[in-house]
Amino acid sequence: MTQGRHCLEAPKKKKKKKKKKSENDMKKKLNTRAMHILLCGLSEEVSKKVFTCKRAKEMWEKVEKLYGKKEKKDGIS
């Protein structure tokens, strides 16, 4: 009995249509990414203080309070 080519190939799966990501999904992804970036740049001590924040903006505001908001000098913030 000879095996044909069809026996060697896995059956083809139907391609699933990609769901269009909602605006809310994109915001969540960007928020998570921003929080990760913030946490990577902070000391362990400060990270522990801001880790419980739900949003990157909230985290950033806590960091500003901890470090003290600095004024712009010579056009550099």
Question: Which pLDDT value is given to residue 75?
Answer: 55
Question: Which pLDDT value is given to residue 33?
Answer: 95
Residue 12 lies in a domain: no
Of 11, 16, 59, 22, give the one whose Cα is nearest residue 38: 59
Residue 7 lies in a domain: no
Q: How many domains does the chain have?
A: 1
Q: Are 38 and 63 in contact (CB under 8 A)?
A: yes
Residue ranges making up the domain that contains 48: 26-68
Given a cut of 60, whether residue 51 has pLDDT beyond it is yes
Of 59, 22, 27, 20, give the one whose Cα is nearest residue 42: 59
pLDDT tens readout for residues 5-32: 444 555 566 666 666 778 899 999 999 9
Residue 6 lies in a domain: no
